[in-house]
Amino acid sequence: METLKHLLSLLNTGLYLKKYMRLSLVFMGLMTFILILSSVTMVLAVEAGHRMDKKAVVKWMLWTIIGGFAFLSCQAWEWSHFISGTDTATISDVMVNGIWKENYEIFGANLTFNQYGPPAFAALFFFITGFHGFHVFSGVVLNVIIFFNAATGVYERRGHYEMVEKVGLYWHFVDLVWVFVFTFFYLI
């Protein structure tokens, strides 16, 4: 279990939020709740589809799309803060383009440097949240397509709203992944 322990302690040391931006952890909670709420509105859209209630499907799909966009906006805000860093730099001895530099000023984080903790944390953070964000984005695109189809009556003519349910499963999965990302990157 040695390496798993190492990984957990990496995630813990990398908790820049706790040390420097405690308010940001609360912000992350809000973001998490926005995604959970958009999952709820998706369930409500699926439920309305079972009842053949076109108006309700369109209404709840719209809320789901808004939730998805809100989540992506929150993530953009968070990324830009994490990347640009604080006003005062962290001084550290680092390797820059293969040359060892002492007392180097680091602002923010990217795939190579991390002002707040181990660079490996920043790399892993951008890799995982980036892929998740991309999944949310493609989910929003799918939701928009479903929204238009529902609004123009495609599914009403078809006689069932099964596509809402299928895309709903994708959307819930993205939410499910975020629940784990949130735990491992923000809480631990």
Partner 1 sequence: MEQATTNVQVQPVDKAKIWGIWKVALILAVVTGIEYVFAFQMEAGALRNVIFIGLTIVKAFYIVAEFMHLGHEVKGLVYSIILPMIFILWLIMALVNLEGAAIKDARGIVDYEGDGIEHVDEEH
**Rule CB under 8 A: which residues touch partner 1?**
1-4, 6-10, 12-13, 15, 18, 25-26, 29, 32-33, 36-37, 39-40, 42-44, 47, 50-54, 118, 120, 156-159, 169, 172-173, 175-176, 179-180, 182-183, 187-188
Which residue's entry shows tokens 């998740």? Answer: 132
Instruction: Quote the least distance from Cβ 156 to partner 1, whole Å.
Output: 6
Q: Which of 135, 159, 164 is nearest to 64 (CA)?
A: 164
Instruction: Quote the least distance from Cβ 110 to partner 1, whole Å.
Output: 19
CA atoms within 13 A on the CB side of 14: 24
Reading the block at residue 34, the tokens are 């926005």
C-beta closer to partner 1: residue 83 or 177: 177
C-beta closer to partner 1: residue 84 or 152: 152
C-beta closer to partner 1: residue 22 or 84: 22
Euclidean distance between CA atoms 57 and 99, whole angstroms:
58
Euclidean distance between CA atoms 28 and 55, whole angstroms:
32
Instruction: Quote the least distance from Cβ 137 to partner 1, whole Å.
Output: 20
Sign of CA dihedral 139, 36, 66, 42: positive
Instruction: Quote the least distance from Cβ 73 to partner 1, whole Å.
Output: 20
Instruction: Quote the least distance from Cβ 31 to partner 1, whole Å.
Output: 11
Q: Cβ of 163: how many Cβ atoms within 10 Å?
A: 17
C-beta closer to partner 1: residue 30 or 76: 30
C-beta closer to partner 1: residue 51 or 101: 51
Cβ neighbours of residue 102 under 8 Å, at least 6 residues apart? 93
C-beta closer to partner 1: residue 80 or 183: 183
Instruction: Quote the least distance from Cβ 82 to partner 1, whole Å.
Output: 18
End-to-end CA distance of the chain: 17
Across-strand partners of 114? 109
